[in-house]
Amino acid sequence: MRFSLLTSLLLPLVAVSVSASNVIDLDDGNFSKIVGGAKGSLVEFFAPWCGHCKNLAPVWEELADSYASASNVQIAKIDADGVGKQSGQQFGVKGYPTLKWFPAGSLTPEDYTGGRDLASLTAFVTEKTGVKSKVKAPPPSATLELTVQNFDKIALDDTKNVIVAFTAPWCGHCKSLKPIYEAVAKDFATEENVVVALMDADEAANKPIANRYGVRSYPTIKVRKSEDYQPESYDLGRTEGLFLDFLNGKAGTHRTTGGALSDLAGKVLALDTLASDFFASTTSSAAELLAQAETLGATLGGDAKNTSVKYYLKVMSKIAEKGTEAEKWLTKEQGRLAKLLSSPALAPTKTDEIKIKLNILSSFVTKKAAGAFEAVKEEVQDAWGGVKQEL
């Protein structure tokens, strides 16, 4: 009897604690009374049977918790296939979940088309209201999320090399791919002509895009090289290294695992040949080589190549100016740049710039080092010849 009485007293408390939520529940009757008032409202139009809505639910709860004490923000949801069907129709809801932002004092919404992770959602609310989330959000994803609204603008940009993974939230292989794909996106984060993106191809609004590209299973990965209209399927292994090799080949980039540049970045083969001959040249031939390099440099197009060309010419001029002190200057300059490169505070773009300079400097010392080796080799051979004669 005592147990039954205690249970009957506790059960309501348990129910209250379990059902407590900072997400405001809306319906057709209370929608206009709550939304459009003194607070800005981010509203999820959902359907109870929708898998994507179920996946979003815990994130939506976290979002509401993070703004629970805000005086001008509220996070709400409405069953647009049930008690909120009329509201869903009023605001043009065609698929689930649909997210809309209603500014304070207005029932004219703005569609939310960003990512559905906590970081993206809190960033959006903060942008609209100036109110910062009380929950520390994880860093934003390096992988760009595509939707039906932004797909053509981004994926069909003729100036970009774009790789798109068409995924589904429930797909096990997609979940396994996600951390690898995120690492690849980070590797190419500073490459302006490479876009690493994904799309939830199982979402109703996005399915016309998926159908356009023949997506029948998940994940399906497509790559579109700049200036090529039709994409090609990526059918290689799903490791960071294989993705890097493939994208480097398509985009002409030189990224390595972890995002650093390879030893080939910034090099211009034709100028490498002249650079390697520079140390061995006489004063007159050095001037001739520099003139050749300037002529050759003028024929090379593209901003990236021009930056490299300018540095090749700068180094050649410096070597010619230093004369017999050139080798000492080159060694000192390599050391200075290597020290800068080791700094953890260096910005990514600056890191790339210094790595390219070091790569170019290595072209000048290659033949010099080879010549020194040959000289030592000849000395050893001569010495060994003398020893054999004595024997």
Query: Which residues are identified as catalytic?
Result: 50, 53, 171, 174
DSSP 308-359: HHHHHHHHHHHHHHHGGGHHHHHHHHHHHHHHHHT-TT--HHHHHHHHHHHH
User: Are 218 and 167 within 8 A, CB to CB?
Assistant: yes
- The 10 Å Cβ neighbour count of residue 367 is 17
Give the residue among 77, 52, 83 at the shortest CA–CA distance from 63.
Answer: 77
Q: Angle at CA 340, nearest 5°, toward 338 and 343?
A: 115
- Separation between Cα atoms, residue 89 and residue 98, nearest integer Å: 12
Q: Angle at CA 117, nearest 5°, toward 136 and 127?
A: 65
- Separation between Cα atoms, residue 21 and residue 58, nearest integer Å: 11
b vs e for 32-63, b when ≥16 Cβ sit within 10 Å of the residue's Cβ?
eebbbeebbbbbbbbbeebebbeebeeebebb
- Separation between Cα atoms, residue 38 and residue 55, nearest integer Å: 30
Give the residue among 232, 193, 209 at the shortest CA–CA distance from 150.
Answer: 209
- The 10 Å Cβ neighbour count of residue 174 is 21
DSSP 236-279: S--SHHHHHHHHHHHHT--B-TTS-B-TTTT--HHHHHHHHHHT
| Residues pairing with 194 in the sheet | 161
